[in-house]
Amino acid sequence: MINAAVFGAGRIGKVHTHNAAGLPGVALRYVVDVNPAAASELAGTYGAKPATIEAALGDPEVHAVVIATSTDTHADLIQQAAAAGKAIFCEKPVDLALERARVCAEAVTRAGVLCGIGFQRRFDPTFAALKTRLDAGEIGEPETLLITSRDPGPPPVSYIKVSGGIYKDMLIHDFDIFRWILEDEAISIHATGSCLVDPAIGEAVTIRTRKGRLCQINTTRRAAYGYDQRFEVLGSAGMLQAGNPRPTEVTASTKRSVSTDIPEPLFFDRYRVAFAAEMKYFFDAVGSGKSARTDIHDGVKALELAEAATLSWHEQRVVELDV
């Protein structure tokens, strides 16, 4: 039995808690939150106890922690949990400051603990199936990756203000997808668009890779028709496209049009299956000793791209990356 503690009883904390608590072989022991009432309530629902950070990390029978607190607390918690020898799952991003994220990565490496980062898209059934088929050589050598990453509406202004901008907040997922799908690193990046922090027309990013490939990303915070998160890989022998899941498979034909459902309008519905698979994978890894699908170094790498994109955007020029 793997004993677990969850840090953070907010929206994403509840999702992870629900998914972790339902796993065979996992016992949820503690929920920690700055708001004790929230911790108590969430803990109670799943037969766990509220606790302080110190109590949770100090319990030698806790094997694994799930960090789902606000971004500014990630780095401290990762370092403390690593020092305590716990397996760690931490929501993205590791930190908004690249230097601090690197310090975390070193702490994790030094402690030799498992540390998975919450890029849940790698666990989306469609995205994961595409990756498997790409790796199997179905379309030959990948050459170009196009990512469409659109949210249906902007987050609250209060969130945007501390989010580090659209590249660190939203596109960081796409930077991770880019590295995961192509298994390649950026040598240059060009980012342009309307605005970093406001909901606006959107951003366009172009990445060139070591192996001479191209990646184009387009994004916006307001797609009228729902979460639109697709990508396509053009390879030497064909193309693989990952489309959006739809709530239902109803088609309506009327005088005006033939129509189907829009993509899932809510983030947690869009990635419901991915979040569950992500938690399962993490605890399987804790139990079996296998490595994380996205580790803290991936988290640092995605942040490097987000920083470079931000720089490119500010200086309106192509930014070269050290490789």
Count of residues engaged in binding its own copies, rule: CB under 8 A: 67
Q: How many CA atoms lie within 13 A of 174 on its CB side?
A: 31
Residues 69, 61: Cα–Cα separation, whole Å:
22
Site string for its own copies, 49-88 (x = CB under 8 A): ----------------------------------------
Site string for its own copies, 150-189 (x = CB under 8 A): x-------------------------------------x-
Is the dihedral angle over the CA atoms 153, 159, 164, 168 positive or is it negative? negative
Residues 4, 6: Cα–Cα separation, whole Å:
7
Tell me which H or E stretch contains 254. none
C-alpha distances in Å from residue 284, one per residue of 85, 274, 277, 281, 296: 17, 15, 10, 5, 18
Residue 52, Cβ neighbours under 10 Å: how many?
A: 12
By CB under 8 A, the residues from 3 to 22 that bind its own copies are: 22
Nearer to its own copies among residue 103 and residue 128 (C-beta)? 128
Residue 223 is which amino acid?
A: A
Q: Which stretch binds its own copies (CB under 8 A): 27-35, 74-82, 112-120, 312-320?
A: 312-320
Site string for its own copies, 103-132 (x = CB under 8 A): ----------------------xx--xx--
Whether 283 and 271 have beta carbons less than 8 Å apart is answered as no
Binding test (CB under 8 A) with its own copies, winner from 27, 55, 146, 311:
146
Q: Does 1 bind its own copies (CB under 8 A)?
A: no
- Burial class of residue 221 in the structure, from the number of CB atoms within 10 Å of its CB (0-12 exposed, 13-18 middle, 19+ buried): buried
By CB under 8 A, the residues from 220 to 279 that bind its own copies are: 220, 222-225, 228, 234-245, 247-262
Residues in contact with its own copies by the rule CB under 8 A: 22, 125-126, 129-130, 133, 138-140, 143-144, 146, 148, 150, 188, 190, 192-194, 201-204, 206, 208, 212-214, 216, 218, 220, 222-225, 228, 234-245, 247-262, 316-318
